[in-house]
Amino acid sequence: MFGIGKNIIEGALNTTGDLAGSVIGAGGNIADRVTSLGGKKIKGKVILMRSNVLDFTEFHSSVLDSFTELLGGGVSLQLISATHASNDSRGKLGSKAFLERWITSLPPLFAGESVFQVNFTWEDDFGFPGAFFIKNGHTSEFLLKSLTLEDVPGFGTVHFDCNSWVYPSGRYKKDRIFFANKTYLPSETPNPLRKYREEELSTLRGDGTGERKEWDRIYDYDIYNDLSEPGKDARPILGGSQYPYPRRGRTGRPRSRKDSKYETRLSLVLGLTIYVPRDENFGHLKLSDFLGFALKSLASTIQPELVNLINLTPGEFDKFQDVHDLYEGGFPVPVDVFRNLTKGFTPPMFQELLRTESDQRFLKFSRPRVVKEDKNAWQTDEEFAREMLAGVNPVMIRRLEEFPPVSKLDPELYGDQNSKIKEEDIKFGLEGLSVEEALNEKRLFILDHHDALMPFLRKINGTSTKTYATRTILLLKADGTLKPLVIELSLPHPQGDQFGAVSKQYFPAEEGVQKSIWQLAKAYVVVNDAGYHQLISHWLNTHAVQEPFVIATHRHLSVVHPIHKLLVPHYKDTMFINAFARQVLVNGDGLLESTHFQAKYTMELSSYIYKDWNFVEQALPVDLIKRGVAVQDASSPHGLRLLIEDYPFAVDGLEIWSIIKTWVANYCSLYYKDDEAIRNDVELQSWWKEAREKGHADKKNEAWWPKMQSINDLVESCTIIIWISSALHAAVNFGQYPYGGYVPNRPTISRRLMPEVGSSEYKELESKPEKAFLRTINSQLQTLLGVSLIEILSRHASDEVYLGQRASIEWTSDKAALDAFENFGKQVFEVENRIMERNRDVSLKNRSGPVNMPYTLLLPSSTEGLTGRGIPNSISI
């Protein structure tokens, strides 16, 4: 706000004289006070941002008042010595200093920031200023970005990287403390700072009681008891029960009067006010990009009005061109309905969310890349298979090691769930090989959603969903592409689960009704895959499993701890987007249930899958070996040989994984000289113990957890955390709209089963195959909601920080760490160039495929918006 109001303020100063002499605060005239104190002074520069930087409604009346209230005695700072202690062994305190002058000659780095001068009285025996207290004596909070001290005797420039909201001092039990950007293991912390370090961590842990308020800085754990209100159709509580789950951030909201096991939910109007520590909330730029507001509007305003609209004008897509019209002309709406729909939106939000050009059409979407070059290529078998390697869910395909495929479901509960595919069903496509030969040559692969879905399928098909559990077997061809051989669609036995599955096989066809049946079979596979992708690959395996590590890090690793400095950029916005997701996305009747086939069993199913989650297997090399798509080979890059050489996600991902691990290893080696240093680090041990035993409490007894007894344990664990937050999330998130924005390519719902011969649906399939296809997948309403949602989720914000970058260049004062990070940034740039080179190699057919859509999801850099590329440091949308 101050950058915008600079001219107003300067005009006021011209009429009132020198700023320091004209502004009177609670402490009296600043110039007089500085003179009376005497002694040597050292200058400081404070960068901060006001809380109402985006509040333009009261801008003209409040800009000068808001500016002047920061001056005078309202904001005080007090340096703390890291080398000289007082009688209680805490660092010696300097005299209080106050914000004095708005430095207009130094432009802020970002809009809304302001730079102030502060003068500290300096005593010769003070030593190194290792921390400072700050007190906010005003009525509103501000974001303290940094303090930089100049010409500190014996130390030169000393920088404090703060990036934290400071509320009025009455909101805190203890004054806020910030540490210089030095890095210390707990045992190496200067004695005068040790108690301050320990007390700050104690403050962040809290006492586990009470409802959290926005100014609280407390990180704590809770179960998922906030997904719905209790009652007949309540969603189960996840975590600490028969439904294992990672823990989420505790809000302490009151329990429901109907059932005290459930936490009360906020209304949609209050959705953006759900508690997370304020420093974990979206920054103002991200909010101004409407990523958060758009989701809220989609849930609270757009969705109900769309329901009313579809009810008023019942309709379906009859042909694929109807879906293309969403990108070419928008969705037609009667004028009166349109005005109701858009009532109350501000112009920027209106333009961003609705992208309207007239009073008759809205929700005009940009054309998804999958149909940008060719409207029909998505229908080919080659593209269907390619997206298992280079699509938005490239983490599921595995090598077939036993034929026919065998189920791991308990036969006492589910009967015979083994596949009924026979060798004669697929031998026509094996290029002259027998099944045994194809298995031995490692050329058979499978996309298998059968076991994950079958235990829930009877319940899911009791909703409006009608779908199957699917298996797809594919052959690796000589040219490196995959060819689907057979799709098996399975249903629970009508007489009961114990009687096994009822399965039917479908085969590729190129003409007649059999071609249409094959297209439908592929659609059922993609419905399975899209639902599993959004719920498991995306939500559970990135968002949900990371939150416990975010919480544990802040509770047990001090801001001066090297591992805190390493990991915290990879946590930005994660707690907030997860809290917001519980409010509008993964909650009962939320957007995910409304737009995906699992319906009200969505989160219960994710709990079922979490039972098999293994932290160690999130490492990309371990995952690839487990799925049988790679084997260990010391002579190959990264020590692995891919069995599908042209596997874009794996090829690019291994390069990213490798440079992350190298960076982590180089960084950790600066602070830990041997394994004993790992074992003796009390903060590190507390962090890892709590992440396992509280954050992932339902998995705490698993033998696979790293023991955190060696440097190798630390490097591998931190690499996994960074990989999940950055590259893995990017791979499964930012391609959602490019691939799924055209719903026929990635339907998320099926509404009817495969038509039986002789039925009216079968006749429709014969005569109007596109209409029959579109009647089977997402309805018009589900399409509009789903496409709106994934378009928001696929966007980059303008303040995104990408892999190899830092929000602050002064995140540490350790030159060796800065040099190592600079080298990491160079490696990221080199990997990006190599990815682009591979995308230009026409011999690598899986890189672009029939749709001519190069695989760019693991290109590290991006601009803002809908780009289909870019690896942000953190899970921030």
DSSP string, 109-161: SSTTEEEEEEEEEE-TT---EEEEEEEE-SSS-EEEEEEEEEEETTTEEEEEE
State the Cα angle at 632 between 630 and 633, rounded to 5°. 110
Whole-angstrom distance, CA of residue 227 vs CA of residue 583: 7
Secondary structure (3-state) at 235: coil
Q: Which residue type, as a one-letter code, is found at position 157?
A: T
Contact 310, 780 (CB under 8 A): yes
Contact 644, 476 (CB under 8 A): yes
Whole-angstrom distance, CA of residue 152 vs CA of residue 37: 18
Cα-Cα end-to-end distance for the chain: 26
Whole-angstrom distance, CA of residue 388 vs CA of residue 259: 44
- Residue 746's CB is within 10 A of a number of other CB atoms, namely 28
For the purposes of burial, counting CB atoms within 10 Å of the CB of 481, is it exposed (0-12), middle (13-18) or buried (19 or more)? buried
Q: Are strands 156-166 and 248-249 parallel, antiparallel or unpaired?
A: unpaired
Element (H, E) at 844: none
Q: Which residue type, as a one-letter code, is found at position 58?
A: E
Q: Which residue type, as a one-letter code, is found at position 422?
A: K
DSSP symbol at 494: T
Q: At what angle do helices 512-532 and 381-390 cross, to 10 degrees?
A: 10
Closest among 270, 226, 223 to 243, alpha carbons compared: 223
Could you give the dihedral angle defined by the CA atoms of residues 20, 21, 22 and 28, in that order, rounded to the nearest 10 degrees?
90
Instruction: Write phi, then psi, for 712 (nearest 5 degrees).
Output: -60, -40
CA atoms within 13 A on the CB side of 426: 27
Q: Which residue type, as a one-letter code, is found at position 101?
A: R
Contact 484, 384 (CB under 8 A): yes
Could you give the dihedral angle defined by the CA atoms of residues 156, 158, 159 and 165, in that order, rounded to the nearest 10 degrees?
-140
Secondary structure (3-state) at 800: coil
Q: Which residues contact 184 (CB under 8 A, 6 or more apart)?
A: 190, 193, 560, 561
Whole-angstrom distance, CA of residue 530 vs CA of residue 533: 5
Q: Which residue type, as a one-letter code, is found at position 77?
A: L
Q: Catalytic residue numbers?
A: 538, 543, 729, 733, 877
Element (H, E) at 835: helix 815-839
Contact 279, 164 (CB under 8 A): yes
Q: Are strands 97-102 and 142-152 parallel, antiparallel or unpaired?
A: unpaired
Whole-angstrom distance, CA of residue 294 vs CA of residue 352: 8
Whole-angstrom distance, CA of residue 131 vs CA of residue 597: 53
Q: Longest Cα pair distance anywhere in the chain, in angstroms?
A: 99
Contact 82, 57 (CB under 8 A): no
Distance (Å) of CA 106 to CA 6, 14, 494: 12, 18, 74
- Residue 478's CB is within 10 A of a number of other CB atoms, namely 8
Token pair in block for residue 401: 């090691």
Token pair in block for residue 848: 């672009």
CA atoms within 13 A on the CB side of 507: 8
